[in-house]
Structure 1
Amino acid sequence: MDIRQMRYFVACVDAGSLSKAALALSISQPSLSQQISEMENDLGAPLLVRSYSGVAPTEAGSTLYRHAQSIIKQFAQLRGDVKRGEHALSGQVAVGLPTSVAAVLAVPLFERMRAKYPGIQLQIFESMSGYLNELLANGRLDIAVLFRETETRGVTVAPLFSERLAVHGAAWVGNTRAKTVPLALLSGVPLVLPGRSHGLRLLVERAFDSAGLDLNVVADIDSLPTMLELARRGEAATILSGFLGRGKAHKDLLARYLVSPSLERSVALCRLNSVPQTAASRAVQDCMQQLVAEMAPTLDTAAARRGD
């Protein structure tokens, strides 16, 4: 098995189809199928499940996919280092950012990396944390910013800061000129929240239950734009990151931090232990940690509380 075959296999998994992968690779489908068969014979295990709808990796295929992505990235970095000199960092680094974190970190990260490491090509994925967790587990991301406090099996967790939650909308509740609103005032208020598979939903449910309040979830919505639009229209309120109220896109949406109690969640840099970290990936991680340290006065939850 060689690097070319690894690229072929990764292309098949990404495309979900042998015909689409063959087209993207500019080779014939029979030739691609033969290469995959040779890999399966070499490893002694089936790598793809074939069906009328396309192909999907087997358990062995998923393992190969993660390692192949890492090897391909390392090979690309090796070539770049040789061409540019051993001290010039280069290569692609895939970073996953939840939308709330991307609102304050994505642009500064891009600008800092372009200025300091022009040879490193960032791939920034912005999505809800549940999907980013899947991408990290599948080896699609080198680094993911997730809402975690402690390390889990196979994942290294480096704490960044605590993100404070806010109620968006609910103009009929409390003082709209205040920067905060007591959680008790949201008892019975119609809310739209992510489904129960999301950590934010669990955090909100625990807070309402501990305070003996009525949590009135009128819809489970796993779409950030939809939740914010419903809150903007006054159809229902939602509880999300307070950072979302800072962006120009949502400046017209009422957002107030929750107090009594304050709701917070830990934000951390996460990466798979099974995937070797490249020098470029370490540089991006260091850059993100430096940016967070510099932005600490605006990210620190204590700073937000001074407006309570």
Structure 2
Amino acid sequence: MDIRAMRYFVAIVDHGSLTRAAEVVCVAQPALSQQLAALEEEFGVPLVHRGAKGVRPTEAGKTLYRHIRNILRQVEIAGADVRVAGSEISGNVAIGLPTTAAAAFGMPLMRAVRQRYPQVRLQLFESMSGYISELLNQNRLDFAILFRDTASRAVEPEPLASEPLYLIGTPPGRTTRSATIALKALDGIPLVLPSGSQGLREVVERSFAKAGIALNVVADLDSLPFLLAAAREGLACTVLPASSLGESPGAEGDGAGDGDGDGKGDAEGGIGRRLILPELRRTLSLCWPRALPRSNAAEAVAEILREIVAVRIAQGGSLAPPPSPAAPAGR
């Protein structure tokens, strides 16, 4: 199996069609079919299911696909590093950003990279953290910003900052206006939250369980606009950091974006927000896939992100230095 055969197989799986894959890699379909047959003969197992609607990988094919993606990515990184050795940093850098992180850091990152490293081509993937984690585990990203502080066999996190979580919306029956709310007061109230694969959901579940209170999730919404809309319309409350409301640096302190101390922000049309006490915190980490070498370009872009986060911490707002290793996660 050579590099060309690897690229052919990736194209077949990515496009789910021999015809489309042949067009993409600029080879005749019969030749592509022969390459696929040769691979199956080499490994002694079927690599794809063939059907009227195209092809899809078998379990063996999925395993081979993962390994090939890793190999091709390492070949790309090696080539980029060799070409730029002793010269200007260049190459592609693929980064995953959850929606809230993209809003806070996306544009500052793009500006700084364009200014310092004009030969670096950024690929930014914005989505909920669960999907970003999948891309990271598949080694399709150079690194990602994720809200997690625990390592795994596939991912090595580098904590950058932490931020407190707020109750967004007004709990049923609550008439007093306050900048804070006790965690115990959230016992059983209707909540909309990201699904269980998201880092924020894990923090909330862990904190509610530790406090011995009921978590009443009425809908799983992997969409920041939907979470905010549900809170705005009074359908249910949600739990988010202040940065999700478009908080500007220095806005934190009284728990209110409008500065009157009543816990009601103005950045999202007056959605009430209350700091949960004792504090629930989530950790913002730069996450590296262990299976991939770090290219010079990726390291350079990561350093810019570290600088941007450090500036945000210095300016105030919701970001703070990450907790020490001894501090309990999510607190």
Which consecutive segments of 4 or more residues in structure 1 shift more than 6 A? Answer: none
Secondary structure of the 1:61 match is helix
Q: Which residue of 2 aligns with 1:159?
A: 159
Matches within 5 A, 1:1-308: 1-39=1-39, 44=43, 48-52=47-51, 53=53, 54-56=55-57, 57-76=61-80, 78-79=82-83, 81=84, 86-170=86-170, 173=174, 175-176=176-177, 178-246=178-246, 251-297=268-314, 298=316, 301=319
- Deviation sequence 1:214-241 (CA, Å, 0-9, x none): 3222122333332222122211111123
Letter of the structure 2 residue corresponding to residue 66 of structure 1: N
Letter of the structure 2 residue corresponding to residue 55 of structure 1: R
Q: Structure 1 residue 271: deviation in Å? A: 1.3
Letter of the structure 2 residue corresponding to residue 262 of structure 1: E
User: What's the RMSD between the two structures over aligned residues?
Assistant: 2.8
Matched residues in 1 for 2:247 and 2:153: separation? 35
Letter of the structure 1 residue corresponding to residue 92 of structure 2: Q
Assess, with a 3 A threshold, how the Cα gap between structure 1 residues 263 and 16 changes in structure 2: closer, same or farther: farther
Assess, with a 3 A threshold, how the Cα gap between structure 1 residues 149 and 64 changes in structure 2: closer, same or farther: same
Letter of the structure 2 residue corresponding to residue 50 of structure 1: H
Matched residues in 2 for 1:281 and 1:27: separation? 33
Matched residues in 2 for 1:114 and 1:159: separation? 25
Matched residues in 2 for 1:250 and 1:31: separation? 58
Q: Which residue of 1 aligns with 2:263?
A: none
- Deviation sequence 1:154-176 (CA, Å, 0-9, x none): 42221111132222222764655
In the alignment, structure 2 segments of 5+ residues that lack a partner are 249-265, 322-331
Matched residues in 2 for 1:60 and 1:7: separation? 12
Matched residues in 1 for 2:30 and 2:267: separation? 51
Secondary structure of the 1:254 match is coil
Percent identity over the alignment?
41
Assess, with a 3 A threshold, how the Cα gap between structure 1 residues 257 and 48 changes in structure 2: closer, same or farther: farther
Secondary structure of the 2:86 match is coil
- The answer to whether the Cα contact below 8 Å between 1:91 and 1:280 also exists between their aligned partners in 2 is yes
Q: Structure 1 residue 47: deviation in Å? A: 8.1
- The answer to whether the Cα contact below 8 Å between 1:181 and 1:256 also exists between their aligned partners in 2 is no
Assess, with a 3 A threshold, how the Cα gap between structure 1 residues 202 and 230 changes in structure 2: closer, same or farther: same
Secondary structure of the 2:279 match is coil
Assess, with a 3 A threshold, how the Cα gap between structure 1 residues 210 and 22 changes in structure 2: closer, same or farther: same
Q: How many pairs are equivalent?
A: 297
Matched residues in 2 for 1:301 and 1:292: separation? 8
Letter of the structure 2 residue corresponding to residue 283 of structure 1: A
Assess, with a 3 A threshold, how the Cα gap between structure 1 residues 37 and 286 changes in structure 2: closer, same or farther: farther
Letter of the structure 2 residue corresponding to residue 296 of structure 1: I
Assess, with a 3 A threshold, how the Cα gap between structure 1 residues 302 and 269 changes in structure 2: closer, same or farther: closer
- Deviation sequence 1:169-216 (CA, Å, 0-9, x none): 22764655x543333333332111223343322322232233343322
Q: Structure 1 residue 253: deviation in Å? A: 5.0
Matched residues in 1 for 2:158 and 2:122: separation? 20
Secondary structure of the 2:239 match is strand
Matched residues in 2 for 1:109 and 1:45: separation? 47
Q: Which residue of 1 aligns with 2:255?
A: none
Assess, with a 3 A threshold, how the Cα gap between structure 1 residues 222 and 45 changes in structure 2: closer, same or farther: farther
Secondary structure of the 1:252 match is coil
Letter of the structure 2 residue corresponding to residue 70 of structure 1: Q
Q: Which has the higher helix share?
A: 1
Q: Which moved more, 1:272-281 or 1:19-28?
A: 19-28
TM-score, normalization by structure 1: 0.84
- The answer to whether the Cα contact below 8 Å between 2:162 and 2:320 also exists between their aligned partners in 1 is no
Matched residues in 1 for 2:126 and 2:210: separation? 32
Matched residues in 2 for 1:12 and 1:112: separation? 37
- The answer to whether the Cα contact below 8 Å between 1:144 and 1:271 also exists between their aligned partners in 2 is yes
Matched residues in 2 for 1:168 and 1:89: separation? 43
